[in-house]
Amino acid sequence: MFFAPGTLPNFAHKLSRDAAQRIASNAWVLLLNGLLLFVAGVLIFTIDWSVRSLATFIGALFIFEGISFAMTTGIDQNVRRANVVTGLLSIAAGIAIIVWPAPGIVAVAVFLGAWLIVLGTLAISSAFAARRFMSSWWMLLIVGLLEVPLGVLALANPGATLAALVTVGGIWAVAVGVMRITMALELRHLPEIVDHEFAQQAGSTASPASNGASATAKPGPRHPAPAVS
Protein backbone atom coordinates (compact mmCIF):
# COMPACT_ATOMS: atom_id res chain seq x y z
CA MET A 1 0.00 0.00 0.00
CA PHE A 2 2.85 2.39 0.86
CA PHE A 3 5.93 0.54 -0.44
CA ALA A 4 6.14 -1.34 -3.73
CA PRO A 5 8.30 -4.48 -3.99
CA GLY A 6 10.74 -2.69 -6.29
CA THR A 7 11.44 0.07 -3.73
CA LEU A 8 13.36 -2.24 -1.41
CA PRO A 9 16.89 -1.89 -2.90
CA ASN A 10 16.79 1.94 -2.95
CA PHE A 11 14.53 2.40 0.05
CA ALA A 12 17.04 4.18 2.30
CA HIS A 13 17.91 6.65 -0.46
CA LYS A 14 14.36 7.38 -1.59
CA LEU A 15 12.71 7.84 1.78
CA SER A 16 13.08 11.47 2.76
CA ARG A 17 11.16 13.40 5.35
CA ASP A 18 8.86 14.72 2.62
CA ALA A 19 8.06 11.15 1.57
CA ALA A 20 7.51 10.22 5.22
CA GLN A 21 5.06 13.09 5.58
CA ARG A 22 3.20 11.98 2.46
CA ILE A 23 2.89 8.47 3.88
CA ALA A 24 1.89 9.80 7.32
CA SER A 25 -0.94 11.80 5.71
CA ASN A 26 -2.62 8.45 4.98
CA ALA A 27 -3.00 7.65 8.69
CA TRP A 28 -6.66 8.71 8.84
CA VAL A 29 -7.53 6.64 5.76
CA LEU A 30 -5.79 3.61 7.23
CA LEU A 31 -7.44 4.12 10.63
CA LEU A 32 -10.93 4.41 9.11
CA ASN A 33 -10.21 1.39 6.91
CA GLY A 34 -9.07 -0.67 9.88
CA LEU A 35 -12.04 0.25 12.06
CA LEU A 36 -14.57 -0.59 9.36
CA LEU A 37 -12.83 -3.86 8.49
CA PHE A 38 -12.79 -4.90 12.14
CA VAL A 39 -16.50 -4.13 12.48
CA ALA A 40 -17.16 -5.98 9.21
CA GLY A 41 -15.29 -9.02 10.51
CA VAL A 42 -17.38 -9.07 13.67
CA LEU A 43 -20.56 -8.78 11.60
CA ILE A 44 -19.46 -11.61 9.32
CA PHE A 45 -19.11 -13.89 12.34
CA THR A 46 -22.32 -12.84 14.08
CA ILE A 47 -24.91 -12.61 11.28
CA ASP A 48 -26.75 -15.62 9.87
CA TRP A 49 -25.89 -15.11 6.20
CA SER A 50 -27.42 -16.36 3.02
CA VAL A 51 -25.20 -16.78 -0.03
CA ARG A 52 -26.79 -13.73 -1.69
CA SER A 53 -26.43 -11.45 1.32
CA LEU A 54 -22.85 -12.57 2.03
CA ALA A 55 -21.91 -12.00 -1.62
CA THR A 56 -23.32 -8.47 -1.47
CA PHE A 57 -21.52 -7.73 1.78
CA ILE A 58 -18.15 -9.06 0.53
CA GLY A 59 -18.64 -7.15 -2.73
CA ALA A 60 -19.19 -3.96 -0.74
CA LEU A 61 -15.99 -4.69 1.20
CA PHE A 62 -14.11 -5.08 -2.09
CA ILE A 63 -15.42 -1.70 -3.27
CA PHE A 64 -14.51 -0.05 0.04
CA GLU A 65 -11.01 -1.58 -0.10
CA GLY A 66 -10.60 -0.36 -3.66
CA ILE A 67 -11.55 3.21 -2.75
CA SER A 68 -9.10 3.11 0.19
CA PHE A 69 -6.28 1.85 -2.03
CA ALA A 70 -6.98 4.45 -4.73
CA MET A 71 -6.87 7.26 -2.15
CA THR A 72 -3.57 6.10 -0.62
CA THR A 73 -0.28 7.76 -1.50
CA GLY A 74 3.03 5.94 -1.17
CA ILE A 75 6.74 6.55 -1.16
CA ASP A 76 6.74 7.67 -4.81
CA GLN A 77 4.55 8.01 -7.90
CA ASN A 78 5.11 4.37 -8.88
CA VAL A 79 3.47 3.23 -5.66
CA ARG A 80 0.69 5.79 -6.19
CA ARG A 81 -0.06 4.38 -9.64
CA ALA A 82 0.07 0.82 -8.32
CA ASN A 83 -2.42 1.74 -5.60
CA VAL A 84 -4.81 3.26 -8.14
CA VAL A 85 -4.63 0.17 -10.37
CA THR A 86 -5.10 -2.13 -7.38
CA GLY A 87 -8.04 -0.05 -6.17
CA LEU A 88 -9.77 -0.11 -9.55
CA LEU A 89 -9.35 -3.89 -9.77
CA SER A 90 -10.83 -4.27 -6.29
CA ILE A 91 -13.79 -2.04 -7.16
CA ALA A 92 -14.39 -4.00 -10.37
CA ALA A 93 -14.29 -7.30 -8.47
CA GLY A 94 -16.74 -5.96 -5.88
CA ILE A 95 -19.18 -4.80 -8.52
CA ALA A 96 -18.90 -8.16 -10.31
CA ILE A 97 -19.73 -10.04 -7.11
CA ILE A 98 -22.75 -7.83 -6.35
CA VAL A 99 -24.30 -7.79 -9.83
CA TRP A 100 -23.57 -11.48 -10.54
CA PRO A 101 -26.93 -13.15 -11.19
CA ALA A 102 -27.60 -15.58 -8.36
CA PRO A 103 -23.94 -15.79 -7.25
CA GLY A 104 -22.96 -19.15 -5.91
CA ILE A 105 -20.43 -20.04 -3.25
CA VAL A 106 -17.96 -21.00 -5.99
CA ALA A 107 -17.98 -17.51 -7.54
CA VAL A 108 -17.58 -15.74 -4.19
CA ALA A 109 -14.81 -18.13 -3.10
CA VAL A 110 -12.85 -17.63 -6.34
CA PHE A 111 -13.03 -13.84 -6.12
CA LEU A 112 -12.16 -13.81 -2.42
CA GLY A 113 -9.34 -16.35 -2.73
CA ALA A 114 -7.64 -14.63 -5.66
CA TRP A 115 -7.87 -11.25 -3.99
CA LEU A 116 -6.44 -12.51 -0.70
CA ILE A 117 -3.43 -13.97 -2.50
CA VAL A 118 -2.79 -10.65 -4.26
CA LEU A 119 -3.14 -8.65 -1.04
CA GLY A 120 -0.98 -11.11 0.89
CA THR A 121 1.83 -10.94 -1.65
CA LEU A 122 1.78 -7.13 -1.60
CA ALA A 123 1.72 -7.09 2.22
CA ILE A 124 4.76 -9.39 2.50
CA SER A 125 6.77 -7.29 0.02
CA SER A 126 5.76 -4.06 1.76
CA ALA A 127 6.70 -5.45 5.18
CA PHE A 128 10.29 -6.12 4.14
CA ALA A 129 10.52 -2.69 2.48
CA ALA A 130 9.27 -0.92 5.63
CA ARG A 131 11.18 -2.84 8.28
CA ARG A 132 13.87 -0.16 8.78
CA PHE A 133 11.49 2.65 9.68
CA MET A 134 8.36 1.00 11.09
CA SER A 135 8.55 -1.02 14.27
CA SER A 136 5.21 -2.68 13.47
CA TRP A 137 6.39 -3.99 10.08
CA TRP A 138 6.17 -7.53 11.47
CA MET A 139 2.39 -7.16 11.81
CA LEU A 140 2.18 -6.44 8.09
CA LEU A 141 4.29 -9.51 7.45
CA ILE A 142 2.08 -11.71 9.64
CA VAL A 143 -1.08 -10.47 7.91
CA GLY A 144 0.48 -11.18 4.52
CA LEU A 145 1.47 -14.66 5.63
CA LEU A 146 -2.11 -15.14 6.84
CA GLU A 147 -3.79 -13.78 3.69
CA VAL A 148 -1.91 -16.00 1.23
CA PRO A 149 -2.87 -19.36 2.82
CA LEU A 150 -6.44 -18.14 3.38
CA GLY A 151 -6.64 -17.30 -0.31
CA VAL A 152 -5.16 -20.64 -1.29
CA LEU A 153 -7.66 -22.37 1.02
CA ALA A 154 -10.58 -20.56 -0.63
CA LEU A 155 -9.35 -21.41 -4.14
CA ALA A 156 -8.42 -25.00 -3.31
CA ASN A 157 -11.97 -25.79 -2.19
CA PRO A 158 -14.29 -23.24 -3.85
CA GLY A 159 -17.26 -25.54 -3.33
CA ALA A 160 -16.89 -25.34 0.43
CA THR A 161 -19.81 -24.62 2.71
CA LEU A 162 -21.08 -21.15 3.49
CA ALA A 163 -19.72 -21.54 7.04
CA ALA A 164 -16.19 -22.06 5.68
CA LEU A 165 -16.46 -18.94 3.52
CA VAL A 166 -17.70 -16.96 6.51
CA THR A 167 -14.70 -18.19 8.53
CA VAL A 168 -12.20 -17.14 5.87
CA GLY A 169 -13.78 -13.72 5.34
CA GLY A 170 -14.23 -13.05 9.05
CA ILE A 171 -10.67 -13.97 10.03
CA TRP A 172 -9.27 -11.82 7.23
CA ALA A 173 -11.39 -8.76 8.08
CA VAL A 174 -10.64 -8.85 11.82
CA ALA A 175 -6.90 -9.53 11.42
CA VAL A 176 -6.37 -6.88 8.74
CA GLY A 177 -8.52 -4.40 10.66
CA VAL A 178 -6.42 -4.72 13.82
CA MET A 179 -3.18 -4.47 11.82
CA ARG A 180 -4.27 -1.33 9.98
CA ILE A 181 -5.46 0.40 13.15
CA THR A 182 -2.07 -0.28 14.77
CA MET A 183 -0.16 0.90 11.70
CA ALA A 184 -2.28 4.04 11.40
CA LEU A 185 -1.33 5.06 14.95
CA GLU A 186 2.34 4.56 14.14
CA LEU A 187 2.22 6.28 10.74
CA ARG A 188 1.36 9.57 12.43
CA HIS A 189 4.87 9.59 13.92
CA LEU A 190 6.74 8.36 10.83
CA PRO A 191 8.43 11.73 10.06
CA GLU A 192 9.83 11.86 13.61
CA ILE A 193 10.97 8.23 13.32
CA VAL A 194 12.79 9.04 10.07
CA ASP A 195 14.42 12.12 11.63
CA HIS A 196 15.64 10.03 14.55
CA GLU A 197 16.98 7.29 12.27
CA PHE A 198 18.87 9.73 10.06
CA ALA A 199 20.21 11.59 13.10
CA GLN A 200 21.63 8.34 14.46
CA GLN A 201 23.25 7.59 11.11
CA ALA A 202 24.72 11.07 10.96
CA GLY A 203 26.03 10.72 14.51
CA SER A 204 27.70 7.39 13.80
CA THR A 205 29.32 8.89 10.69
CA ALA A 206 30.54 11.98 12.53
CA SER A 207 32.08 10.10 15.45
CA PRO A 208 35.10 8.67 13.60
CA ALA A 209 35.74 12.07 12.05
CA SER A 210 35.80 13.79 15.42
CA ASN A 211 38.13 11.12 16.82
CA GLY A 212 40.42 11.54 13.86
CA ALA A 213 40.43 15.29 14.29
CA SER A 214 41.55 15.01 17.89
CA ALA A 215 44.26 12.54 16.92
CA THR A 216 45.67 14.84 14.25
CA ALA A 217 45.43 18.10 16.22
CA LYS A 218 48.34 20.50 15.72
CA PRO A 219 50.82 20.58 18.59
CA GLY A 220 51.24 23.76 20.60
CA PRO A 221 54.05 26.27 19.99
CA ARG A 222 57.52 24.91 20.77
CA HIS A 223 59.95 26.94 22.89
CA PRO A 224 63.28 27.62 21.19
CA ALA A 225 66.22 25.52 22.43
CA PRO A 226 68.85 27.39 24.46
CA ALA A 227 71.91 28.53 22.48
CA VAL A 228 75.07 26.50 22.88
CA SER A 229 78.26 28.52 23.25
Listed by start position, the domains of the chain span 16-189
Neighbours of 214 (CB within 10 A): 7
Task: State yes or no: pLDDT of 122 exceeds 60.
Answer: yes
Is pLDDT of 1 > 50?
Answer: yes
Evaluate whether 73 touches 25 at the Cβ level (below 8 Å): yes
Q: What is the DSSP letter of 2?
A: -
Contact 114, 90 (CB under 8 A): no
Q: How large is the average pLDDT for residues 44-65?
A: 88
Cβ atoms of residues 44 and 169 within 8 Å: yes
Confidence of residue 221 (pLDDT cuts 50, 70, 90): very low
The mean pLDDT value of the chain amounts to 76
Return phi, psi of residue 89, to 5°: -65, -40
Segment 209-229 shows an average pLDDT of 42
Indicate whether this model's pTM tops 0.85: no
